[in-house]
């Protein structure tokens, strides 16, 4: 939890309590349903919560913004972002029912009211959103093709509507088709922990 306060010292008491509660909740649920790899669960705050919050360092969603988290898995990046932006509406979808069960139980346990979760594949989501966020669910060209239909026309934020995607490794090939419009942030310039080397936030306006 200290690692979150290191980069986000101005959290409200409620937000601190919600982030703090994630540790026990994910450890408990992970023992029943494996939503985070066993070797990774002890690095929950660095590898999952803080990683998700790289998006919050690049954009401050304005109140009323609608965000879709596609392929949320156990709730990342959606849940950490929903805690950070309580006046933004989040919908978290995943094709795996067990994962969505965990998301629903965690959001209920921490009283997260701006967040809904549904078992749904991306191609079946028809709603319109300001942004789609995602963590490495598929190659970037496939992801862009899939979510274009979900990006609304009305602008509410300083960044034009589009896709915010967290990726690791060599992203040069994936980004090639979008090289004139993509904005790539090296997350190790935001968070100085060793783990964030070769981790990127890719923004593509759609």
From the list 8, 13, 18, the residue with the least C-alpha distance to 54 is 8
From the list 58, 100, 57, the residue with the least C-alpha distance to 79 is 100
Q: What is the pLDDT of residue 38?
A: 83
- The one-character DSSP state at 123 is G
Q: Contact 112/79 with Cβ under 8 angstroms?
A: yes
Distances, alpha carbon 135 to alpha carbons 32, 111, 132, 153, 167, in Å: 23, 24, 10, 23, 6
- CA atoms of 4 and 54, how far apart (whole Å): 11
With the C-alpha atoms ordered 140, 99, 95, 162, is the resulting torsion angle positive or negative? negative
121: pLDDT strictly greater than 90: yes
124 pLDDT tier (thresholds 50, 70, 90): very high
Q: Contact 195/177 with Cβ under 8 angstroms?
A: no
Pairing of strands 183-186, 115-119: unpaired
Q: What is the pLDDT of residue 6?
A: 97
Q: What is the pLDDT of residue 136?
A: 77
From the list 27, 46, 44, the residue with the least C-alpha distance to 106 is 27
pTM above 0.75, yes or no: yes
- Across residues 125-138, what is the average pLDDT? 94
With 0-12 / 13-18 / 19 or more C-beta atoms within 10 angstroms meaning exposed / middle / buried, residue 114 is: middle
- Tell me the sheet residues that pair with 46: none
Helix (H, G, I), strand (E, B) or coil at 173: helix
- pLDDT one-digit tens code per residue, 139-196: 999 999 999 999 999 999 999 999 999 999 999 999 999 989 999 999 999 999 999 9
């Amino acid at each position: 939890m200290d690692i979150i306060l290191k980069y986000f010292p101005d959290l409200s008491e409620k937000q601190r309590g919600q982030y703090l509660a994630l540790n026990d909740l994910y450890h408990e649920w992970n023992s029943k349903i494996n939503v985070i790899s066993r070797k990774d669960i002890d690095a929950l705050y660095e590898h999952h919560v803080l990683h998700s919050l790289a998006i919050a360092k690049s954009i401050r969603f304005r109140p009323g913004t609608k965000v879709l988290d596609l392929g949320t898995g156990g709730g990342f990046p959606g849940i950490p972002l929903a805690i950070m932006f309580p006046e933004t509406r989040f919908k978290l979808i995943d094709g795996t029912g067990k994962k969505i069960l965990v998301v629903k139980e965690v959001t209920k346990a921490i009283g997260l009211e701006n967040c809904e979760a549904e078992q749904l594949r991306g191609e079946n989501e028809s709603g319109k959103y300001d942004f789609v966020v995602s963590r490495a669910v598929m190659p970037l060209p496939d992801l862009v093709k899939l979510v274009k239909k979900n990006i609304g026309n009305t602008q509410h934020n300083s960044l034009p509507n589009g896709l915010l995607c967290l990726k690791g490794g060599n992203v040069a090939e994936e980004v090639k088709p979008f090289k004139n419009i993509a904005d790539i942030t090296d997350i190790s310039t935001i968070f100085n922990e060793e783990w964030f080397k070769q981790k990127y936030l890719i923004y593509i306006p759609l």
